[in-house]
Amino acid sequence: ESATAFGCLVSDMWLGEFDFVSPEAFHSVFGKRYPAFSRRTQHDAQEFLICVLDDLHEAFKQVRAQLCQERQSSAAGASTTSSSGTSIITHLFEGQLSYAIRCLTCKALSDRPESFTVLSLPIPSTRVCSLQDCLECFFQPDTLTRNNQIHCYWCGSNQDATVTASITKAPQIIIFHLKRFAWQDKHRRKLSTTVCYPFSDLDLSPYISTSCHNNTEYSLCAVVNHAGDLDYGHYTAFCKHSITQHWYSFDDAQVTKIPDSAVQADTAYLLFY
């Protein structure tokens, strides 16, 4: 089971007995469940991350459901709420968006909730921009017209509408995917834009619904980097040690301590706050 293999990998990492730890066993087990990732070719780190989180969620969800059943059977007459739909993954990583959709004809307003574990942010520049620029681009109101019209219940027909997204549940750990692989002039290419991201005090309150009472300030804890282009490249990671607060670079068999200034990189692809 991939969850067991992942647990062994994390345990080996934190034991600190080796200079580096190979994820080969986890990769082998995970590849059997997701054959697309078993091939020795480049894959998208964001797609891989989502599959890993989904797989771990399913495994931990089943364990949690079994524990709830055991508690129910051992506590005669006691009422236990089933938590079969949740896990440590949803507790840490799952947030919720709400899309406010307003019909431009009758002005009726409706909300469409949507859960997320990764927010894919557009990069609104080809040279330099900030993470806040990416967030503002993602959350700016959009107008749905022509083939994107909504079917308005009150009008009884398709109508133009505006849609505005907001965060109604902020996760403990929020993951941003910078959409570096984009279509331009009918060709897909990689954007090498420098995206400046803060190490601390990332304030998401402008994008969070007033009904959400979660903490809105975040600090950077990890970065996944991609060097190369569409067809080939190399992934590395920067991770902050939760106890020492030092940053480390993970580059295959090379794990090295790095200064804070090196964490701001043009190759950043996934940001963990």
**pLDDT-above-90 percentage for the chain:** 75
Residue with tokens 């398709």: 158
Nearest 10 degrees: Cα torsion 115, 120, 121, 126: -170
Hey, is 76 helix, strand or coil? coil
d(CA 210, CA 231): 43
For the record, the structure tokens of 197 come out as 């991201």
With bands split at pLDDT 50, 70 and 90, how would you rate the model's confidence at 65? low
Which of these ranges, 94-98, 152-156, 183-187, has the smallest mean pLDDT? 183-187
Sequence-distant (6+) residues with CB within 8 A of 260 are: 199, 247
Q: How do the domains of the chain map onto residue ranges? A: 1-72+83-88, 116-140+170-272
pLDDT at 199: 97
pLDDT at 78: 39
Angle between helices 2-15 and 24-33 (to 10 degrees): 160
DSSP state of 158: E
pLDDT at 68: 56
CATH topology of domain 116-140+170-272: Cathepsin B; Chain A (3.90.70)
pLDDT at 230: 81
pLDDT at 251: 96
Sequence-distant (6+) residues with CB within 8 A of 142 are: 162, 163, 164
Q: What is the pLDDT of residues 89-146, one digit of tens each?
A: 999 999 999 999 999 999 999 999 999 999 999 999 989 999 999 999 999 999 999 9
d(CA 195, CA 187): 22
**pTM recorded for the entire structure:** 0.88
